[in-house]
Amino acid sequence: MSDSPLLSTTQWSSEYVGWHDRSAPHRSPDDFTPTRDAFVFAVLRNAPADPNGFTLALFTPNIAIDASGRIFQLGDTDFAGLSALARHVLTLPQTGSFMNAWRIVRPITSQPIERLFVPDSSGQLVQTSVQGFEKEHRNQLKTPVGQYTELPVVLSELFGLITEARAGYQKGVEDSSVITKVKAIVEEQ
């Protein structure tokens, strides 16, 4: 462990940890079509090795699509928890930066950016991004946002849970057809 304040560890937790492992493969994935009406949220990834990546999307009723394009059925509690956290992000202040990004101090530049898209009460998608998130490290912001000097707890919890959707992901092996449909929903706005 390093003595660097940039790498100091934090205690991360969530009652929804393991949601991905608890979810069941969708019984009829070929019959599921992502639609805007059923859209809850999506997370796209921008990284040097994956500039147009995809991490996660949720759709009603209790459907998750992970980074590999696999379609899962979530339990009611996990679905409700992830959905509520995503909606809570809408109450945070805008950062004023490109992609509404909360940028975390890291000793290495070019950190991945996870871009969360959540519909607001009018149905418009609101983007909130986090650059450089690491679940087990301190998440001090490069530039304060309002009263926040560290990543807000709701973002830390949600983005920590989002990382579960990348488990087992291998670039080039994903189901690009379903991912393309999800991206089209996000980009249609």
**Whole-number Å distance between alpha carbons of 53 and 90:** 23
Alpha helices in the chain (DSSP H): 19-22, 76-89, 153-162, 176-187
Model pTM above 0.95: no
In this predicted model, what pLDDT tens digit does every residue of 67-76 receive, in sequence order?
999 999 999 9
> Which residue has better confidence, 135 or 163?
163
What phi and psi values does residue 82 have, to the nearest 5 degrees?
A: -60, -45
Amino acid of residue 105: V
For 189, the 3-state DSSP assignment is: coil
Specify whether the CB–CB gap between 76 and 114 falls below 8 A.
no
What phi and psi values does residue 126 have, to the nearest 5 degrees?
A: -110, 130
Quote the pLDDT of residue 10.
60
**Whole-number Å distance between alpha carbons of 178 and 69:** 6
In this predicted model, what pLDDT tens digit does every residue of 19-73 receive, in sequence order?
999 999 999 998 999 999 999 999 999 988 888 899 999 999 999 999 999 999 9
**Whole-number Å distance between alpha carbons of 104 and 130:** 8
Tell me how long the chain is. Answer: 189
What does the DSSP 8-state code read for residue 105? P
**Whole-number Å distance between alpha carbons of 32 and 162:** 21
- What value does the mean pLDDT of the chain take? 91
**Whole-number Å distance between alpha carbons of 161 and 176:** 22
